[in-house]
Amino acid sequence: MNRAHLPHRLLCTLLSLLLALTPGWSLGDVYQDLPDMGSVSGSLLTPRQEKQLGKAFMRYVRATQKVIDDPLLDDYINTLGRQLVQHSEARGTRFTFFLVRDPTVNAYAGPGGYIGVNTGLVLTTRSENELAAVLAHEITHVIQKHLLRAWYQDQNLTLVQGAALLAAVLLGTLAGGNAGMATAIGLQAAVRQQQINFTRQNEKEADRIGIDIMQQAGFDPRAMATFFSRMGRAIRAYGTKLPEFLRTHPVTNARIADAWGRAETYPYRQREDSLRYLLARTALRESGFQNPEDGILHFRSALKEGRYRSRAAARYGLARALYRARRFDSAAKELAALLKEHPEVPEFIVTASRVDMEKGKREAALKRLEKAVHRHPSSLPLRLVLDELYLRAGKPKKAYAALMRLASDYPEKTRVHRLLAQAAADLKRPAESHQYLATYYYLMGDLEAARRQLGIALRQSGLDDYERARIVSQLHRVEEELKQLKETGGKK
């Protein structure tokens, strides 16, 4: 194989994952816009190419990490992230924030504005200001294109090393020895030091701009210095076994001092934690109990002894644990009290509706959510859960119509396509159902499953020529991507 062509093909493999399973896309649409990979010293990716690479990155993350598919938690982290983005130079640019169920302390910024945060980091923060500090820091890495600049930084790298560096940065640090490309794994140790050196060079810039973003967005700018000071003290506790966050975001005394100095240029601002931040932390903590009965004991004890930052959040944790333990009457009692005090909080509305559904009170569950959606029509978690309960209540037509609108507005939401597959199946549209399942698996990075679903869709009776041609076209794209992965040593 001509080594001069390998980087181009490696990037083709990554970019090929962006193809949506919808009419109008073709491999030519991707390949004609590929960056010139013949020289590591070339220009950075165009915004469109960076977004395409980001989509590929996100699919790999879903395939290898436990990305949380909870409408409420997803909505919270994206709401917080968007608030910060709107007070940055990237105002109006689309960012995607996601949570990964992983107890380690880590956060990372991928290309195209995809920013991941481990649940361990969320639970490590002591305030919403600290969580905002981490997000602002990662947002700055995206705005300043630190990742892409690192990719092109060293002109002495060979073409193979340049491409492998990108794969190692995007994939290796996330999946360890299970990174997608054999060449990237082989060179990961060689390029690791360069990645760390680059990070040290740019962390101060990410801190400085991130602090400015926090100030503009109404958060306490001192929280970044506070959080990194605690991380710095943790280095002594961890010794040589540092969590990934401290390896990729090295903390030094000079850096902490710079962050404090920058923050001190702004007047002191006290900002209380939002209820949704406290509820998100509570939900993560409650889901950490494998046995829900342990969660019940924990939150009841906390309420009895007054060991909580928010009584409402503690009662929410108890209600969630009771719901998981199928003690629905007790859960309903807790939620009724919470809704009386906080009638518009989506976490309470959604959980109460789910409890009612389990108790057989379908109409009450749907009515509560329908009223909430009417009051808050832009709330994605309320709309998603309403459609989910429509399906459980045997109302697939209502769910289907609403989910089609959501699929148009949120084409990368995996839950939307999974629910659409169910709705289509309930409406006796098997070919369509399998196509939506194929899209779901595709977004999850499981190309083999996507291919199987498209094959099943193609075997359904009653397909017209247009439908058959569309499925065949989609199947060919997936098969081409699988072929490219095998040719480049990829593992899927």
Say if residue 376 is exposed, middle or buried (CB neighbours under 10 Å; 0-12, 13-18, 19+). Answer: middle
| In 220-345, alpha helices (H) | 222-238, 244-248, 253-263, 275-287, 292-305, 311-324, 328-341
Asked about 130 being catalytic, the answer comes back as: no
Residue 309 Cα distances to 131, 271, 274, 277, 284, angstroms: 17, 15, 11, 11, 15
Catalytic residue status for 138: yes
Q: Which of 102, 203, 207, 356 is catalytic?
A: 207
Strand 114-118 and strand 107-109: pairing? antiparallel
Measured distance CA(479)–CA(483) in Å, rounded: 6
Choose, from 128, 138, 334, 347, the residue flagged as catalytic.
138
Taking CA atoms, 182 is separated from 75, 196, 240, 335, 480, in Å, by 36, 21, 27, 51, 19
Residue type at 379?
Answer: S
Is there a contact between 151 and 164 (Cβ–Cβ < 8 Å)?
A: no
How far is 235 from 250, CA to CA, in rounded Å?
10
Kindly list the strands in the beta sheet with 114-118, ordered across the sheet, starting from the edge strand earlier in the chain: 96-100, 114-118, 107-109
Residues β-bridged to residue 100 = 67, 118
* Bridge partners, 97 (sequence order): 115
* Residues that are catalytic: 138, 207
